[in-house]
Structure 1
Amino acid sequence: MTFARLLLLTPLMLTTGCFGSDRIVPVSGVVTLDGEPLSRAVVGFEPIAQEGDLEAGYGSYAKTDDQGRYALRHLQEGEGALVGQHRVSVSTVVGKEGPNGEILGLTKERVPARYNNNTELVVEVPPGGTDEANLELVSK
């Protein structure tokens, strides 16, 4: 690669390859299932790449408390989530790790499949963050 080409690509690499903490904002909320708080659920926010972006960035996750409250933690930057649209999944499946790394004794999923791996939930994380990223799930 020529030096001139490298100079042209450097700004692109900096904007798409690095996700600085200035784009990470606090995100929290409450998860309910049929109007009741969903405790001990894992909430995952996975950024959706926007048109023209090469990468979407790292996701964020949280576990709900007994009142269904959660606060996201970014996989690389600490507390919060990247600004922008996210595909959101919620699951209550828990398993114990066996002596050889295998997963044993999975619990029954309490959340409908449409909110798990192939989720239909999309949440927009605003530039200032939010404490109202509430997820109102329904079982029917």
Structure 2
Amino acid sequence: MRCFCLVLALMVTGCSSSPDDAPELVEYTGVVTLDGQPLGDAVVMFHPTQPGLNGAAGQTNADGEFSLVTGNRSGVTPGNYKVTVSRIVTKDGSPVSTDEGMDIEQLRMSGDASESIPDKYSALEQTQLTADITDSPETPPSFELTSS
């Protein structure tokens, strides 16, 4: 878990800024579905496509809803992002929770856990999901994923 959390923290925060020069963030909430059903226990990552921006992340609840956080602050910096959605599950299909102290990377390397979301959404190199965040976002888009 420590390895996964460290990687997640580095991806989300990028180069840390002091509070005085921290960029303004806008609140961003959204919904993720898979085959028309809410996707719970998934990590939604916003990867900046512009230099100088930090990434943001959120975890979906049982209704597929998420709110983005940048570092330890609620919201996301306006800009363009590639979006990935990841849901790691054990062999029996139950989601792996970082809250339970599981080391996700060790579970994946041992074959006891795997990515349940297709690479076309979960792999940064392959995702076609994008978001353009403005200073005053309208209703954020839902991310409607399909398993095929």
* TM-score normalised according to structure 2 size: 0.67
**Cα offsets for 1:101-131 (capped at 9, x unmatched):** x622653322111111222211111211355
Using the aligned pairs only, state the percent identity: 31
| Whole-Å separation in 2 of the counterparts to 1:131 and 1:73 | 17
Over aligned residue pairs, what C-alpha RMSD do you find?
Answer: 2.4
Matches within 5 A, 1:14-29: 20-22=22-24, 24-29=25-30
Partner of 1:44: 45
Residues 26 and 131 of structure 1 are in contact (CA less than 8 Å); yes or no, is this contact kept in structure 2?
A: no
Task: Report the 3-state secondary structure (helix = DSSP H, G, I; strand = E; otherwise coil) of the residue aligned with 1:25.
Answer: coil
Counterpart amino acid of 2:61? D
Task: Report the 3-state secondary structure (helix = DSSP H, G, I; strand = E; otherwise coil) of the residue aligned with 1:82.
Answer: coil
Residues 107 and 113 of structure 2 are in contact (CA less than 8 Å); yes or no, is this contact kept in structure 1?
A: no
2:68 matches 1:72: yes
2:107 matches 1:104: yes
Q: Is 33-42 or 117-126 further displaced after alignment? A: 117-126
Q: Number of residue pairs matched? A: 114
Unmatched 5+ stretches in structure 2: 1-15, 89-95
Residues 27 and 71 of structure 1 are in contact (CA less than 8 Å); yes or no, is this contact kept in structure 2?
A: yes
Counterpart amino acid of 1:40? D
Task: Report the 3-state secondary structure (helix = DSSP H, G, I; strand = E; otherwise coil) of the residue aligned with 2:116.
Answer: coil
**Deviation of the 1:42 alpha carbon:** 0.3
Residues 28 and 130 of structure 1 are in contact (CA less than 8 Å); yes or no, is this contact kept in structure 2?
A: no
| Whole-Å separation in 1 of the counterparts to 2:146 and 2:52 | 28
| Structure 1 pair 133–79 and aligned structure 2 pair: CA distance change class (3 A) | farther
Unmatched 5+ stretches in structure 1: 1-16, 50-54
Partner of 1:116: 122
**Cα offsets for 1:44-95 (capped at 9, x unmatched):** 001111xxxxx2321000110000000000126x011110110100000137
* TM-score normalised according to structure 1 size: 0.71
Task: Report the 3-state secondary structure (helix = DSSP H, G, I; strand = E; otherwise coil) of the residue aligned with 2:85.
Answer: strand
Q: Is 57-66 or 125-134 further displaced after alignment? A: 125-134
For the pair shown, the structure with the greater C-alpha radius of gyration is: 1
